[in-house]
C-alpha cells in the first residue's frame, strides 16, 4: 500500500482546475493578451509620459521661484489691442490700461471691408448661386447701424470721415451685388480699388494708436522698476500670421538691449491668436528651467531653446541628400546663443510694408 501523502501534494489535476466562468464574463476574458514586445514598448514609453507629470509638478515650484526673484512682463494679443501684465516679486500683479477704444473702432471697420471680400469670394461668377445673399443682406443691416453711429464716437474728424466713407462703400458694394444677383470678379476688384486708400489710413492710425499707448505704459513700468529692470523677463505670444512685425514684441524690444532678444525677451508661438496668462507663464517657466538642464548636462545654457535632435538631424539630412544626389536646403548654422530677431530678417523680393504697395 502506497504511503499516505499530504493532501495538497496529492490533489488531482481536475481538482486544481479553475471553475468554469459564466458566459457573461466572455466580454472581459476574451480580450487579447498583449504581445511581449508591445508590453515592453509601453513600459518604456511610460518613462516619457511620466516625465510630463514630473515636469508639471516641478514647473510650479520653478515658476514660484522665478516670480519671487524676477519681474516678468507678458504681452498678450487681444482684439482690443493687446494686454500687458507685470508680475513683481512680492507685489500684486499689475495689468496695463487698455488701448484707447478708438483702436477697436478702426480695426473693426477695417475688418468689415476685407471680410466682404472673403464672404463673397467662393461665390464669384456663379450665376445660379443665391446662397450668399441672406448673410450679406443681414450684414448690410449691421453696416448701416455702424454708419449711423460713427458721428457719436470720439474719433477725430478726419478719422470719422474716413470710416464713414469705408462703411458707405461697403453698403454700396452690397447693394450692387444684391441688385445684380451675381458676384463678378470685376465688381470685387472695383470695390477693392475704391477702398484701398482709406483702408490703409485706418490701418496706419490703428497701429500708431496701439504703439503710442504701449510705449507709454512700458516706459512708466521701466521707470517704476528702476535697477530691477535688468532682471526682467518678458515674452509675447504670436500665431504664425502675426509673427512677422509682431507689434507687442516689437514694442517690448525697444526697452531691452539687442543682446536680450531670445535671452530675456522671447517670442512664444501659439496655435491661436489668444492665450491665457497662465499658459504663457508655463511656457516661459519651461524655457527658463530647461536652460539649467542644458547647462548642467551639456554645458550650454541655450541648447534646449532649440530642437535638441536638430543638429544630428541636420547631419543626417546632409548625408542622405548627398547620397541621393539631391540639393540640400538648410539655413546657415546659427549658435544657440543667437540674439537674432525671431522673425524674418534676410532680404527678399517685393514690398515689405503697406507703404511699399501702390
Classify residue 5: in a domain, yes or no: no
Q: Mark whether 140 and 202 lie in a shared domain.
A: yes
Domain count, the chain: 3
In a domain, 279, yes or no: yes
Residue 84: give the domain boundaries: 38-99+232-301
Does 261 reside within a domain?
yes
Name, in order, each residue with C-beta under 8 angstroms of 183's C-beta and a sequence gap of 6 or more.
Answer: 120, 123, 124, 125, 126, 132, 177
Inform me whether the pLDDT recorded for 108 exceeds 80.
yes
The answer to whether residue 2 is domain-embedded is: no
Residue 12 has pLDDT above 60, yes or no: no
Long-range contacts of 256-259, Cβ-Cβ distance < 8 Å, separation of 24 or more: 258/339, 259/339
Do 243 and 268 reside in the same domain of the chain?
yes
Do 151 and 183 fall into the same domain? yes
With respect to residue 263, please indicate whether it lies within any of the assigned structural domains. yes
In a domain, 349, yes or no: no
Mean pLDDT of 41-68: 89
Q: Model confidence over 16-51: pLDDT tens digits? A: 566 788 888 888 888 888 899 999 999 999 998 888
Per-residue pLDDT of 150-200, as tens digits, reads: 999 999 999 999 999 999 999 999 999 999 999 999 999 999 999 999 999
As a whole number, the mean pLDDT across the chain is: 92
| One domain, residues 297 and 314 | no
The grid coordinates of residue 264 equal: 530675456
Q: Closest by alpha carbon to 260, among 236, 232, 239?
A: 232
Specify if 212 maps to a domain: no
Q: Which residues contact 213 (CB under 8 A, 6 or more apart)?
A: 81, 97, 99, 100, 103
- The H-or-E segment that residue 318 falls in is helix 310-323
Q: Are residues 45 and 115 located together in one domain of the fold?
A: no
Task: Identify the CA nearest to 254 among candidates 70, 73, 99.
Answer: 73
Looking at the domain assignment, is residue 15 inside a domain? no
pLDDT at 16: 57
Amino acid at each position: 500500500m502506497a504511503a499516505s501523502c499530504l493532501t495538497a501534494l496529492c490533489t488531482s489535476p481536475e481538482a486544481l482546475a479553475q471553475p468554469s466562468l459564466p458566459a457573461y464574463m466572455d466580454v472581459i476574458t476574451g480580450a487579447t493578451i498583449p504581445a511581449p514586445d508591445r508590453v515592453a514598448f509601453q513600459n518604456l514609453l511610460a518613462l516619457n509620459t511620466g516625465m510630463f507629470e514630473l515636469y508639471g509638478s516641478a514647473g510650479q515650484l520653478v515658476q514660484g521661484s522665478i516670480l519671487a526673484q524676477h519681474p516678468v512682463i507678458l504681452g498678450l494679443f487681444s482684439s482690443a489691442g493687446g494686454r500687458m501684465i507685470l508680475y513683481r516679486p512680492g507685489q500684486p500683479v499689475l495689468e496695463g490700461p487698455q488701448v484707447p477704444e478708438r483702436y477697436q473702432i478702426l480695426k473693426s471697420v477695417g475688418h468689415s471691408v476685407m471680410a466682404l471680400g472673403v464672404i463673397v469670394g467662393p461665390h464669384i461668377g456663379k450665376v445660379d448661386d443665391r446662397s450668399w445673399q441672406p448673410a450679406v443682406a443681414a450684414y448690410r443691416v449691421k453696416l448701416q447701424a455702424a454708419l449711423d453711429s460713427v458721428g457719436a464716437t470720439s474719433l477725430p474728424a478726419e478719422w470719422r470721415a474716413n470710416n464713414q466713407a469705408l462703411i458707405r462703400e461697403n453698403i454700396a458694394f452690397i447693394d450692387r451685388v444684391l441688385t445684380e444677383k451675381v458676384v463678378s470678379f470685376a465688381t470685387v476688384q472695383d470695390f477693392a480699388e475704391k477702398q484701398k486708400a482709406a483702408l490703409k489710413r485706418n490701418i496706419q492710425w490703428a497701429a500708431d494708436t496701439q504703439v503710442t499707448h504701449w510705449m507709454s505704459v512700458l516706459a512708466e513700468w521701466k521707470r517704476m522698476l528702476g535697477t530691477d529692470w535688468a532682471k526682467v523677463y518678458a515674452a509675447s505670444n504670436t500665431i504664425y500670421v502675426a509673427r512677422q512685425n509682431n507689434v507687442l514684441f516689437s514694442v517690448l524690444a525697444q526697452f531691452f538691449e539687442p543682446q536680450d532678444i531670445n535671452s530675456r525677451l522671447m517670442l512664444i508661438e501659439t496655435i491661436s491668436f489668444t492665450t491665457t496668462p497662465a499658459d504663457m507663464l508655463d511656457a516661459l517657466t519651461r524655457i527658463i528651467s530647461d536652460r539649467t538642464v542644458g547647462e548642467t548636462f551639456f554645458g550650454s545654457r541655450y541648447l534646449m531653446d532649440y530642437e535638441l535632435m536638430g543638429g544630428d538631424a541636420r547631419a543626417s539630412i546632409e548625408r542622405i541628400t548627398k547620397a541621393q544626389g539631391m540639393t540640400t536646403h538648410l539655413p546657415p548654422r546659427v549658435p544657440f546663443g543667437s540674439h537674432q530677431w525671431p522673425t524674418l530678417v534676410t532680404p527678399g523680393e517685393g514690398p515689405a510694408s503697406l507703404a511699399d504697395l501702390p
